[in-house]
Amino acid sequence: MRRDDHVQGRRAYAAAILAADVAACEGLLAGLAVPRSRLHRGTLISLGESLDGPDIAIDDDLALRVELVRGVEPPDDSRRPWLVSAADVLAEPDPGPTPWLVENLIVDAALIAAVGPWKSTKTYALLDLAISVATGQPAFGALAIPKPGPVVYVLEESGRAALWRRLDQLCRGRAIRSEHLRDLHVSTTLGSSSTTPSGRRA
């Protein structure tokens, strides 16, 4: 994996996690500074950032910090000890129902792994899930998406041409027009290209 591709993917992920709306996400992806009022409050708090202050643009340091906190809404007391008594946990208020990213399949903010034999359509399945989360359409035609939002899909096993074919097939199968995928941000190995997005030779 080329370093520039890794940095680009990390910054795209950070933009999707930080931005509170599509326009803010596109601004961050373009390298622009965005007002903090248009960024997710919980993520800013998780990062130790003030809710007020100068506009924010994504650099390598911020992208790494966002990746580490994964955009999880912090507890009210962000300095609570990491090891606590189970009795103390149960003394806290009921957190409510499970927050689903994909209903009955993926919990919101969870870290998951897709494991299976070679050529068992794992890449297609994950791309199909990404399309569902970005568009709000049911995953696999059956599982609801409670809160659709921006998605960053990083494909390092093949290049841009393979991604185009997969996207085209899935969109035709779902009867989705390309403009409905504005919230799905993708990064690939750039396939046959020998230059990075900045124009430098890889």
DSSP 94-163: P--S--EEETTTEETT--------TTSSHHHHHHHHHHHHHH-PPBTTTB--SS---EEEEE-SS-HHHH
- Going from the C-alpha of 61 to that of each of 25, 48, 160, 189, the distances in angstroms are 18, 13, 27, 22
At 82, the pLDDT band (50, 70, 90 cuts) reads: low
54 three-state secondary structure: coil
The region that residue 120 occupies, defined by phi over 0 for left and psi between -120 and 50 for alpha, beta otherwise, is alpha
Q: Which DSSP symbol is given to 201?
A: B
| One domain, residues 103 and 183 | yes
| One domain, residues 119 and 166 | yes
Nearest to 171 by CA among 123, 120, 127: 127
Instruction: Identify the domain containing residue 21 by its residue range.
Output: 1-76
The answer to whether residue 19 sits within a structural domain is yes
| One domain, residues 110 and 169 | yes
Among 46, 76, 106, the domain boundary falls at 76
187 three-state secondary structure: strand
Among 76, 110, 134, the domain boundary falls at 76
Examine the pLDDT at 1 and tell me if it is beyond 60: no
Is 10 exposed, middle or buried (CB count within 10 Å of its CB: 0-12, 13-18, 19+)?
buried
Examine the pLDDT at 54 and tell me if it is beyond 80: yes
Examine the pLDDT at 106 and tell me if it is beyond 50: yes
188 three-state secondary structure: strand
Examine the pLDDT at 176 and tell me if it is beyond 80: yes
Examine the pLDDT at 73 and tell me if it is beyond 90: no
Domain tally, the chain: 2
| One domain, residues 60 and 117 | no
Count of alpha carbons within 13 Å of 85, Cβ hemisphere only?
Answer: 3
One-letter amino acid at 38 equals R
